[in-house]
Amino acid sequence: MKPLLLWAAWPLWLVLILLLPRTWAQDCQSQFLHLVVLNAPIGAEPPWTTELFKNVADKMVVEVPAGQVGSTTLYAGIVSQLSPSAAVGSWQIQMTASSGIKVTSISLPPGLPVWFTRSGIPSLLGTSGFYSSTFLLPGKTLPSRGTASVLRFTVTASAPQGDSPISGFLRWSDGCTGCSSSFLNGALVWDSSASIGGYYSFFCERQGVQVTFVKKPDLDARPGNFIRCDPDNDGKPSVGELIELLNQIFINGLALSCRDAGDCNGDREVDLSDPLYGFSYLLFNTAPPPPPFPGCGRIEGVTTAASCPAGSTSCP
């Protein structure tokens, strides 16, 4: 494919970039530009790093209190793997959001040396998204090799949060619905080693993101931290509390504020084997109880609000 000549003036570039046909772009065998979504900004001034694919995310899960409308901030990113003589000087990008989520605001990250930008949030037929065309100041470029955050945008749920998750997908898409001009995701690359000065290239890889808003658990419904084999929650196992555990198992019935703390051997049951396991460790220096021990913690997917609602009073 033929590269685009770069001797035209900047105002003419603005018109050409917006109207450039697809066949004028470089192919991915010769250039490596990736359009991604970042879950955090990169740097401050300037907002880029030489690290490749930093903060790239393809899934986001956001906890939202019941009844509130969830939102999160994401960043459009460009990952460059160009030769040292080449660098991105301008770009145009467009993203579309599926039902369930919508883009509600966009802005440039601080420190980006922008000469001209044109951005918007068109909405048509229930879809949402954004478009942005940005030119850096003459002589300014993104790093030839690295990751840059080039746009900040807010994603909002389409409804207040209920018990069911609210999910949607953001994808990079050509052809801006609702825009005054057609948009194609691509970048203008300056290349000092080329006799024509550079070229216009599409992004070789475009990675979107799945955003899911979920109901934030009530604090009272979250499992607590505990220490295994510490049934009286005083911060350390002892022979006395294991004797009391035996008494509960055989006579009075279990009355543990955190059932998991009495599970000394970690088999998810509290029975005779647990105080025996604890006695063996304390008296004969055998294998210690499984985690969380000797410090506080919980076992993801095992510790629940039912098995350990309060946690140990000696744990934060």
Distances, alpha carbon 119 to alpha carbons 22, 95, 122, 165, 200, in Å: 21, 12, 10, 30, 20
Backbone angles phi, psi at 83, to 5 degrees: -70, 160
Percent of the chain that is helix, strand, coil (3-state, to 5) = 15, 35, 50
**155: pLDDT strictly greater than 80:** yes
At 222, the pLDDT band (50, 70, 90 cuts) reads low
> With the C-alpha atoms ordered 1, 91, 75, 55, is the resulting torsion angle positive or negative?
positive
Rounded to a whole number of angstroms, the CA Rg of the chain reads: 29
- Asked whether 177 and 123 are in contact (CB, 8 A), the reply is no
Whose tokens are 């955190």? That residue is: 258
- Which whole number is the average pLDDT over 27-43? 76
The whole-chain average pLDDT of the chain stands at 80
pLDDT of residue 83: 87
pTM reported for the whole predicted model? 0.63
At 288, the pLDDT band (50, 70, 90 cuts) reads very high
Measured in Å, how far apart are the chain's first and last C-alpha atoms? 62
Give the chain's domains with CATH numbers.
10-215 (2.60.40.680), 218-316 (no CATH)
- Alpha-carbon distance 187 to 177, whole Å? 20
What percentage of residues in the chain have a pLDDT greater than 90?
A: 33
**226: pLDDT strictly greater than 50:** yes
At 24, the pLDDT band (50, 70, 90 cuts) reads very low
> How many other β-carbons are positioned within 10 Å of the β-carbon of residue 308?
24
- Asked whether 255 and 296 are in contact (CB, 8 A), the reply is no
The pLDDT tens digits of the residues spanning 181-212 come to: 556 788 888 888 766 777 778 887 778 899 99
- Which whole number is the average pLDDT over 263-283? 92
pLDDT of residue 205: 73
